[in-house]
Amino acid sequence: MSKLNNQSEIIRKVLATDLDGTLIPLPDSEENQSSLAEISKAFEIKDLVLIYCTGRHFESVVDAISIEKLPRPEWIICDVGTSIYRITDGRYISFEAYNKHLEDLTHTSSRPGMQSLLEGLPGLILQQEDHQQEFKLSYECESSRTDSLVEKINELLHDFKIPYEAHGSLDPFLNCGLIDLLPRGVSKAYALKWLAQHAGYGADQVIYAGDSGNDFLALTSGCRAILVANAGKELTDKVKAALKAKKKSYALYVAKKQATSGVLEGCRHFKWI
């Protein structure tokens, strides 16, 4: 029996979900708001496990729970998979076992050391302190320079034998590039898989819901998956192809509705709710 899952003899159903564009209602969507209320009610009356899996930093997740009136999860995976928090006595506590695991992966590498290494790269702007974490170093740049800077950073990390890697993305709201340095191989999917193993959740107990490219690895990790309707066609086709190659097409549900309503639709399809 897992020491993390006090009811491991009971098969519990787990919903792991991204937030923005997925569980959080889209602006001015009454249908999404109604769906969120139904999801919240289901988690109040059923023995379901809720995990938030997001690129947001912890304080931003806590704000979202309050502002958007989201149901309280048992676990929060945040900072693109570099932090895990568990609810204990009504409070979210950093999960030290995962911190120790990341320490073992990264050895003596430190955020200040990497920051010093990258100081000379033109066009690389350090993000605000609340976007930085012990195992995540975040920058922004001109969108047109994102790919070239990611390539240069990864060359430096390789040359100095630092067990981190850079990941780039575009922020459509700020119209800039975002670059995160994470321990090599770590992602939202990695953290979710690690947590599932340590909490005693099998792949057949877990549904993952998402809408964007950084959900791809989790959507194709072996659990059942929900793609909400606002996910792009490119991602949808990519997920379908990956699961078909694994002979697990049955594990994917592509919702007809967007965001929160798509999550509810998928949970009904898989008979979670």
Residues 160 and 211 in one domain: no
Q: Please state the domain count of the chain.
A: 2
Q: Along the 273 residues of the chain, how does pLDDT read in single tens digits?
A: 344 444 445 578 999 999 999 999 999 999 999 999 999 999 988 889 999 999 899 999 999 999 999 999 999 999 989 999 999 888 999 999 999 999 999 987 788 889 999 998 999 999 988 788 889 999 999 989 999 999 999 999 999 999 999 988 877 667 888 899 999 999 999 999 999 999 999 988 999 999 988 899 999 998 999 999 999 899 999 999 999 999 999 999 999 999 999 999 999 999 998
Residues 193 and 70 in one domain: yes
State the Cα–Cα distance between residues 203 and 261, nearest whole angstrom.
24
Residues 168 and 53 in one domain: no
Inter-residue contact 189 to 217 (CB < 8 Å)? yes
State the Cα–Cα distance between residues 196 and 192, nearest whole angstrom.
6
End position of a domain, from candidates 183, 214, 237:
183
Residues 162 and 191 in one domain: no
Residues 252 and 192 in one domain: yes
In a domain, 229, yes or no: yes
State the Cα–Cα distance between residues 260 and 22, nearest whole angstrom.
6
Residues 192 and 265 in one domain: yes
End position of a domain, from candidates 183, 206, 227:
183
Specify the pLDDT at position 45. Answer: 86
In a domain, 2, yes or no: no
* CATH number of the domain encompassing residue 115: 3.90.1070.10
Assign 3-state DSSP to the chain and report helix, strand, coil percentages, each to 5. Answer: 45, 25, 35
Specify the pLDDT at position 172. Answer: 65
Residues 231 and 158 in one domain: no
Q: Over the Cα atoms of the chain, what is R_g?
A: 19
In a domain, 178, yes or no: yes
End position of a domain, from candidates 125, 158, 183:
183
Residues 66 and 38 in one domain: yes
Query: Domain limits at 58?
Result: 13-82+186-269
Specify the pLDDT at position 64. Answer: 96
Residues 72 and 197 in one domain: yes
Residues 126 and 177 in one domain: yes
Residues 198 and 148 in one domain: no
* CATH number of the domain encompassing residue 241: 3.40.50.1000
Specify the pLDDT at position 7. Answer: 45
Amino acid at 158: H
